[in-house]
Structure formats: C-alpha cells, structure tokens
Amino acid sequence: MPELPEVESIKLQLSKFLPGHTIEEVEIRYSKCFEGDVENIEEAEIKSVRRFGKVIVIDLDNGYSLVIHIKLTGQLVYRGPNLRKAPQLSRKITGGLRGPHTHVIFRLDDRGSLYYNDVRKFGWIKTVKSDQLKEVNFLRTLGPEFLTDVTKSSQEHLTLEKFKKITGSTKRSIKTLLMDQGKISGVGNIYAIDALWLAKIHPERPADSLSGAETKRLYKSIEKVLKEGLKMGGASELAFVRPDGTEGGYQKNFLAYGRGGKMCPRCKKAKFVYKKIAGRGTVFCPNCQSV
DNA sequence: CACTTGACCTGTCCGC
DNA sequence: TGCGGACAGGTCAAGT
C-alpha cells in the first residue's frame, strides 16, 4: 500500500513540519530497523525532504541524509508545534506513539517529535552521506517514475517513449513488470491492479505483446490512478497514515483492488477474479481485461 | 537470463 | 471458545 501516492503524501507533510529544525535526540527502541550511526544525525538541522520512488530521503545540514523505506506497515507520525491544529490521531496508528511498534523516535529542538512505527518490522532507516545516496542499494537500481512534473521528484521521469521501450523489451507479465522498481519506480500492487483494470489489459499479458495503443492507454491509466491516489492523500486500507496522524482516502475509490468475487462495474458480465500472480494477490475482470 | 518461491514479521479474519 | 491457516503487499536472496 505505501506506493508513490502514499509516500508522496508523507513527503509533502514532512516538508512542512521538519525543515529548519534540529534533531536533538534519537531514541532507538528496535535496533534492527536502524542502520548507521546516530551521532551522524544528532545536532544536525533538517534541510529538506525528498522522495525517490517509494523511498523518503531527509537531508541534513551536516552532509548526511536519512533514508527511509516504510515497506508495508511503516508509519511516520509528527507531533509538535508545527502542526497548528493537530488533527485527531487515526486508530490505525498501531500501538500508539510510544507503543510496542514504535521503533524510533526523533526529538526535535522545538519539542516536536517524529515517531516511526512499523508493526511488521520490514521497513528500515539508514544514515548515509548525502553525496553517497546513489550508492544505497535500493536507490542505485531505481527506475524512472511517473508524475515527476507533479511531485517535483528528482528521480528520472518516465516518458511514454521510455515506457514503450521498457514494455517492449520483455515477455514478463505486464503486472510484474509494472511493480519491478528497477524498471519503473513507485507503482505497487494496488495501483498496478487498478491501472490494468482501467486500461482493460489482463495482468498476465506478456509485456511485449501490448500494442502501441494499449501501451499508451496503460501509461495514461497509471498516471490517472496515481494522480487520484495523490489527490485522496493515499490509500489507508492497511496501516498507512499521514504524518499529521490522519488517514488517506483512496481506499474508498479502489477500482478493482480488493473487489475479488464482486461484479465488474464496467461490463457487468463477469465477477472479479482473485488470483496469485508471481506470488502477489491480483484482481482482474476476466471479461473486459483482454488476454 | 527469466521467473518462482521463501524469508522477513505480526495482526486479522475465516472456517472448523 | 480456541486453533490453524491463509492473507495482507515491498524487497531481497536463493532456487529452478
């Protein structure tokens, strides 16, 4: 669920709350999720917050950056004076802000705090020298992404031309390709499922079997669902919350994701099928998504 | 090289 | 009621 729209929503809010403030103290409560030296970030001022694919980067004024991947259930929640009217915290904030799933707490100079929760402990935070960001394994291999014009991401932009090149060069199933962060970054299971339904393309189609028109339709569909996700502030189906403690709303707009067994609202001739494709739960309409 | 499976974790839900 | 199993989706490593 944390895909481009979710992580972008986090980036947008953190960019409002954090820059200009100094990290006074870092409390690590579960050391496995934190890699690097706390001394590299304590007493440093936060300059900016960026996003590359599904990764958040927090740049400090001392030449270091924090690199954060929240994977499936990570949560970054801010509480402090920069939140003028603090909204009520979502009940999805697992275990609260000092509970069993709170693994790292960053205390700021203005009594504000940034809490990192992660029920499943898949996510990670690393300290890296800012000029060596590109050497972080995950960032090193990251492919171009959609909507860089909207999100101001400095990740390479995925043009339609590049998209055609990428899809045309492999027989892998189109859905698996869309979720391969090394080829295209930011798209995960939910938006891949919805975009394929919107584009009327079967998720198991070999990528290089798509016609020019289909490829363009898919490209536009991905842009559309990602934009819709962004507009709604992300999808809070599982554990996603925004740093102000509130939930996103895209889960109310799911097109095909999560609708296995229900009637397809477009053709009304078939029920959505749930099937594992490459190990991931996938939903599609067997009637109107062409094989 | 392409592709699949299992590992990493824990909470929730469903059927017996 | 309790218990086992499937499932949730992001990546990496190992296996076919």
pLDDT of residue A107: 98
Q: How confident is the model at residue A93 (pLDDT cuts 50, 70, 90)?
A: very high
Annotated catalytic, A25?
no
Annotated catalytic, A24?
no
Digit-coded pLDDT (tens) for A98-136: 999 999 999 999 999 999 999 999 999 999 999 999 999
Question: What average pLDDT does the segment A232-254 reach?
Answer: 95
d(Cα A185, Cα A2) in Å, to the nearest integer? 12
Q: Is the CB of A172 under 7 A from strand B?
A: yes
Tokens in use for A93?
A: 């904030």
Q: Give yes or no for residue A86 having a pLDDT over 90.
A: no
In the numeric block, the tokens 């669902």 are attached to A225
d(Cα A130, Cα A41) in Å, to the nearest integer? 12
In A110-163, at which residue ranges do the beta strands (DSSP E only) sit?
A: 113-118, 124-129
Annotated catalytic, A152?
no
Tokens in use for A135?
A: 């050497």
Q: Which nucleotides of strand C lie within 7 A of protein CB?
A: 7-12
Q: What are the CA-CA distances from residue A68 to residues A71, A92, A207 (Å)?
A: 9, 20, 31
> Which of chain A's residues 27-86 bind strand B, using a 7 Å CB cutoff?
32
- Do residues A8 and A230 lie in contact, with contact meaning Cβ atoms separated by under 8 Å? yes
